Structure 1
Amino acid sequence: MNTFKQLSLAKGALLLVALSILVRPTVLRSQTHEWIVYTSSNSGLPHDYIRAIAIDGQGNKWIGTGGAITGGGLAKFDGVNWTVYNTTNSGLPDNRVFAIAIDGQGNKWIGTWGGGVACLSQDGASWTVYKKSNSGLPDNGVEAIAIDGSGSKWIGTYNGLAKFDGVNWTVYNTSNSGLPNNIVYAIAIDKSQNKWIATGGGGLACLSQDGTNWTVYNKSNSGLPSNIVWAVAIDGSGNKWIGTTGLGGSGLACLSQDGRNWTVYQTSNSGLPDNDVAAIAIDSSGNKWIGTDNGGLAKFSGA
């Protein structure tokens, strides 16, 4: 049976699922599992607005904090100890961290609201900052970073999509490519290395593996319920799960692996607690974890 389960938390709190109590922060029991809630008041988390989470090969959690006005920087949590990197004590260029990706060498690629992209080396000893002024990055406001199979970084900004192969920069925007909107909120890469790009008004775009073909899904030509797409994730079967927002229709959409069928989940036809879907993650069991703008976190076991 396909079921939604809703969990409501204080806005901005960081929440991790565990089978046993690891530390002292607030513990909420739900069936056989325990939810541990970390906030700036009960842990080393520097800010309660969480925008990004990534986990490295050693199991450390890297957490990006901050909203449009203020931020607490980047936090590392090893399960016991917290380490905070900010503009005062490190090479982080801005305390508002909106994106984190970890490459095959363990380097952390960090997207910030106004400071561009920072790369923290695997050993934590050096920082490299890429800005509009010193690189091919088209904008210093970064919302998304994804790393493809060849190690190239795909960076979503407020002024287009950038690809960085370690030497060369390639920028895709509405003027020189099939990108339908220059605001890029999220990027997912499928097993065939196609890039699925969530935009802030142009719907969902797919760039083929070889970089030659664009396919755009929008409200007028597909089952996408809104052209403002905040999140995209791909499950083990190749289905695309798409989080949208916007007046006149939004919700969670699923595009089948073959690209033929759309299913839209909204508050009116499912257990989705809010139609504005800001984040999606898929666990090893295929459950979809759906973060909403005003309805908390939902877990969906449907295919």
Structure 2
Amino acid sequence: MKKTLLVMALSLFSILLNAQSLYPEKFEDCKLSEFCLDCGNPQAQPPKTVFQNILHGIGEKKLVTLKGTLEMQILVDQEGKPCLLSIDNKTNMGSAELGIRQSVNATENWTPAIDGTKKENSSVSLIMEFVDGKFRAKRRTFNFTNQSNMKATGTPDQKGSERAALSERWKVFTQGNSELPWDMSRAVAADLKGNIWIGTDNGVVKISDGKWQHFNAGNTIISATKYNKAQTEPVRDLAVDQKDNKWFVIGYGVYCYDNRVWTKFDSVNSPINWARKIVVAPKGNILFTSWDGVASFDGSKWNVINKKNSKLPSDRVLGVFVDSKDRTWIGTFEGNVVIEKGKTTALNDKSSPLSKAHISKMWEDKKGNLWFSLYNEKGAAAGVYMLSPEGKWERLWNDNPTMFAGNSINDFFFDEEKNTLWLSQNNVGIIRYDIESKKTEIYTTENSNVTSVNIERITKGADGAIWAATFAGIIKTELK
């Protein structure tokens, strides 16, 4: 089988800090208490056989159908021995099924990182992307401003718009110019009172009338990281429900803040196990996607939607949404379904884009149109689609069908007031699309002051400004 390998050596500022797992799926057999993130001059270097060993562990039969992205944090000790510390598995197969930990830990010794004449313990993040029996790989970029902060800026995979064609300017909040406790941020939302909430890799921030309030392991029940009690577990997603409760995916668990009391939900008191995304249903239920199906909470009782009880094609759920007709749409890595009045229907009509790509996010506008971001690294089906109440499909960027094949959509926000769609595109930047004029503006680190190519969540503030959480700070559009 033909395999394509692209390894990108990327620049890095070094930093020593207590051990930290970067990704949600963690492994406990790496025992070092302190290491640096890809530090050294030279940095730790893998043996030439590292990717071949991983592919051998996966096996040729699985490689044929394997699709998606694996991001691995590998700890390399002073002797060069590798150990898989954490992983973000966004493929259609489980990590245990792929044998990733065994393959990484069994590879030949690396060349360890060196600081001057001293060998260092360090961690390296590698990304493998699989599509159509082939793969490509690269090394994750990290930049650091000081010994307590981490950020990732990156170079865009695609060219942005000409600077003169951009209609928006961005205001940037970082640890250096604001009270943001950590530059690497993954979530942002506006509550019912117009306050902005930010989820960082070191705590939660609330901005109210220009005043910043912090919530972390020191003043709430939010857990600290295992190896550094002064640092809070990363916030991976957040949402605000109809009662103005704030919901957070933090570390392994889920937290709810009712503006007075914090409550934690985990595998002990709920069916939640490594929740990924939070979605608020019209009737107030809170839905959590995971690799174990969908967990739903109505305020007192939990319910689980999975392959066993609801005929999902897979328990590895990418997206979920409940529309105004109380239909539950679920996207998995093996196909999409809609559940209505307890009946599950597979969305495999060949004339529908839902038969060719997987639902990652949905939204319903005031006219009853359903908006979809669809994920699929194979072929040209990934992208943004709109389904009218009459059942007619419309595809945005129809003249560029492979626009989101290699660089998927992380999030989108439909600003109905301005008839504008905002999208964050993985490893590219943020996109502004005027629905009436069909004008596209692509903002990257190269043509604007957008700070990172990694943008996770987008929201709108009460004043009309668009906010986005990036791996190098928070950005918002400047009001005109």
Normalising by the residue count of structure 2, what TM-score does the alignment of the two structures yield? 0.49
How far residue 262 of structure 1 moved from its aligned partner, in angstroms, is 4.9
Residues 380 and 401 in structure 2, CA contact (< 8 A), matched pair in contact too = no
CA distance in 1, matches of 2:203, 2:331: 25
Residues 206 and 215 in structure 1, CA contact (< 8 A), matched pair in contact too = yes
Deviations 1:32-63 (A, max 9, x none): 65421222332222333332221112211111
CA distance in 2, matches of 1:242, 1:266: 14
Deviations 1:140-187 (A, max 9, x none): x11222222332212212211011112211101111113232233333
CA distance in 2, matches of 1:97, 1:185: 18
How far residue 127 of structure 1 moved from its aligned partner, in angstroms, is 1.0
Residues 229 and 245 in structure 1, CA contact (< 8 A), matched pair in contact too = no
Higher relative contact order (CA 8 A, sep 6+): 2
Give secondary structure in 2 for the equivalent of 1:143.
coil
Structure 2 letter corresponding to 1:96: P
How far residue 277 of structure 1 moved from its aligned partner, in angstroms, is 0.9
1:272 to 1:117, Cα distance in 2 relative to 1, 3 A: closer
State the match for 1:256 in structure 2.
387
2:235 counterpart (92, 97, 101): 97
State the match for 2:461 in structure 1.
none
Deviations 1:108-155 (A, max 9, x none): 1112341x2111122xx31111111122x241x112222223322122
1:179 to 1:63, Cα distance in 2 relative to 1, 3 A: farther
In the alignment, does 2:410 pair up with 1:278?
yes
State the match for 1:119 in structure 2.
256
CA distance in 2, matches of 1:253, 1:112: 29
1:266 to 1:251, Cα distance in 2 relative to 1, 3 A: farther
Deviations 1:55-92 (A, max 9, x none): 11221111122xxxxx2222212252222222233112
1:222 counterpart (346, 349, 352): 352
In the alignment, does 2:214 pair up with 1:77?
no
1:36 to 1:152, Cα distance in 2 relative to 1, 3 A: same
CA distance in 2, matches of 1:223, 1:246: 14
1:2-21 correspondence to structure 2 within 5 Å: none
Residues 53 and 61 in structure 1, CA contact (< 8 A), matched pair in contact too = yes
2:280 counterpart (147, 155, 158): 147
How far residue 195 of structure 1 moved from its aligned partner, in angstroms, is 2.7
State the match for 1:7 in structure 2.
none
State the match for 2:323 in structure 1.
190
CA distance in 2, matches of 1:148, 1:229: 16
2:193 counterpart (51, 58, 68): 58
CA distance in 1, matches of 2:251, 2:347: 27
Give secondary structure in 2 for the equivalent of 1:44.
coil
State the match for 1:20 in structure 2.
none
CA distance in 2, matches of 1:105, 1:169: 18
CA distance in 2, matches of 1:48, 1:250: 34
1:30 to 1:187, Cα distance in 2 relative to 1, 3 A: farther
1:126-205 correspondence to structure 2 within 5 Å: 126-135=261-270, 137-139=271-273, 141-199=274-332, 201-205=333-337
Residues 379 and 402 in structure 2, CA contact (< 8 A), matched pair in contact too = no
In the alignment, does 2:371 pair up with 1:240?
yes
Identity percentage of aligned residues: 26
1:183 to 1:252, Cα distance in 2 relative to 1, 3 A: same
> More helix per residue: 1 or 2?
2
Structure 1 letter corresponding to 2:266: K
CA distance in 1, matches of 2:267, 2:383: 34
How far residue 107 of structure 1 moved from its aligned partner, in angstroms, is 1.5
Structure 2 letter corresponding to 1:75: V
Deviates more, 1:80-89 or 1:157-166: 80-89
CA distance in 2, matches of 1:234, 1:174: 26
Give secondary structure in 2 for the equivalent of 1:175.
helix
How far residue 296 of structure 1 moved from its aligned partner, in angstroms, is 0.6
CA distance in 2, matches of 1:87, 1:205: 39
Structure 2 letter corresponding to 1:101: A
State the match for 1:106 in structure 2.
244
Structure 2 letter corresponding to 1:109: W
Unaligned runs of 5+ in 2: 1-142, 144-150, 154-162, 224-231, 437-480
Give secondary structure in 1 for the equivalent of 2:308.
coil
Residues 290 and 316 in structure 2, CA contact (< 8 A), matched pair in contact too = yes
Residues 249 and 275 in structure 2, CA contact (< 8 A), matched pair in contact too = yes
Give secondary structure in 2 for the equivalent of 1:156.
strand
1:208-219 correspondence to structure 2 within 5 Å: 208=340, 210=341, 212-217=342-347
CA distance in 2, matches of 1:247, 1:113: 31
Unaligned runs of 5+ in 1: 1-9, 14-27, 66-70
CA distance in 2, matches of 1:45, 1:204: 38
Normalising by the residue count of structure 1, what TM-score does the alignment of the two structures yield? 0.75
What root-mean-square deviation, in Å, do the aligned CA atoms of Structure 1 and Structure 2 show?
Answer: 3.2
How far residue 226 of structure 1 moved from its aligned partner, in angstroms, is 5.5
CA distance in 1, matches of 2:179, 2:256: 22
Structure 2 letter corresponding to 1:117: V
